[in-house]
Structure 1
Amino acid sequence: MHGPASLGWLLVALCAATGAYCLLRMRSSVEEQRRAAGGEALMGFGMAAMAVPAAVFTPPSWTWPLYATLFGAATLRALWAARSAPHHLHHLVGTAAMVYMALAMTASPGHRHHVHGVPGVPLVTGLLLIYFTGYVLLSGIRLVPDAGAASTGTVVGWGDRLELARACRLSMGIGMVAMLLTL
């Protein structure tokens, strides 16, 4: 990641912690939550790996095509899931954004963590920034508790709590915005 090392390390910590929490969410008794948590764990750890500051570690040139292939497969899986469940469209956009960033890193001169002169990069980056900024704002609003909601009294395991899953998605959205800004 191009930018201040402290920002990079904070992003690595945020994304890795989110990925770890999503792995724990995979123990849910609800199958749909387990599937979503698995995809989100992949995104969290992938974002953490991509966010390591370039001043500390410059990955070998084969890393970016590997990321593109891995997230390309995840994009196909998200596309397959989105045909029957439209709420998977966000996963589709997220994995496609990861493919885009990996390809942008592959196409950049010297495989550095910056992209100059690659056609279409500012337009696609701008569209992704608009999408993820909107997603972050909407996710933040969804975390505000509804004062009129009544408690059902049902005890839910911490891995099945909707507000924690939303906070996880919010943190990954913030991470995606930060990564796109440094692209």
Structure 2
Amino acid sequence: MHGPASSGWLLVALCAATGAHCLLRMRSHVVEQRRAAGGEALMGFGMAVMAVPAAVLTPPGWAWPALAVVFGAAGLHALWTARGGARHLHHLMGAGAMVYMAVTMAATARGGAHGHGGAGVPLLTGALLLYFTAYVLATGVRLVPVASATGGAGAGAGWGDRPELARACRLSMGIAMVAMLLTL
């Protein structure tokens, strides 16, 4: 991604920590929560890989198309499971955004210039920014009542079953997605 190395490393740390937390959430006793946490872990680690500052590590030419394929497959899986609920539609949007960023970064790596050709913010980038900004705001608002309603103790739920932790995980990934789209 484009931008200063220090903010890039902070983004890498946030996404990797979120991915690791999502792996821990896969220990939940609720099947649907395990599935969602697995998809979110893939997204967190994929975002961490994509956020590594280009000045520090230049990925090989095959890395961006490989990421596009991985997240394209995740998007197809989310589309298939979207029949079960709106959360999967959000996973579809996230996977689509990751494919878009990987394709844009592949074009940047090939051409050496900015992926958008200096034409400003493309319509798709703007639409994704609006979606993820709205998602972050909505998730943040929903996070406050859950944390105060449970008193922070989880009310007897298992560690991986605490809804405020799952929402905080989704919130941090949404914030990271906005940051990545802004630097695109």
What is the TM-score when the length of structure 2 is the normalising length?
0.91
**How does 1:1-183 map onto structure 2 within 5 Å?**
1-108=1-108, 110=110, 114-117=114-117, 122-145=122-145, 149=149, 154-183=155-184
Q: More displaced, 52-61 or 142-151?
A: 142-151
* Contact 1:11-1:175 at 8 Å conserved across structures: yes
Deviations 1:77-121 (A, max 9, x none): 000010232321100100010001101111225365841328896
C-alpha distance in 2, partners of 1:129/1:91?
Answer: 15
* Contact 2:146-2:164 at 8 Å conserved across structures: no
Q: Which has the higher helix share?
A: 2
Q: What's the C-alpha RMSD, in Å, of the aligned pairs?
A: 2.4
C-alpha distance in 2, partners of 1:20/1:111?
Answer: 34
C-alpha distance in 1, partners of 2:92/2:37?
Answer: 14
Q: More displaced, 105-114 or 9-18?
A: 105-114
C-alpha distance in 2, partners of 1:145/1:66?
Answer: 40
Q: Give the C-alpha shift of residue 150 in structure 1.
A: 7.6
Residue identity opposite 1:96 in structure 2: G
Q: Which runs of 5+ in 2 are unaligned?
A: none
What is the TM-score when the length of structure 1 is the normalising length?
0.92
How many residues are treated as equivalent by the alignment?
183
Deviations 1:25-71 (A, max 9, x none): 00111000000000000000000000000110010110000000000
Q: Which runs of 5+ in 1 are unaligned?
A: none
Q: Secondary structure at the match of 1:83?
A: helix
Q: Which runs of 4+ in 1 moved over 3 A?
A: 111-114, 118-121, 146-151
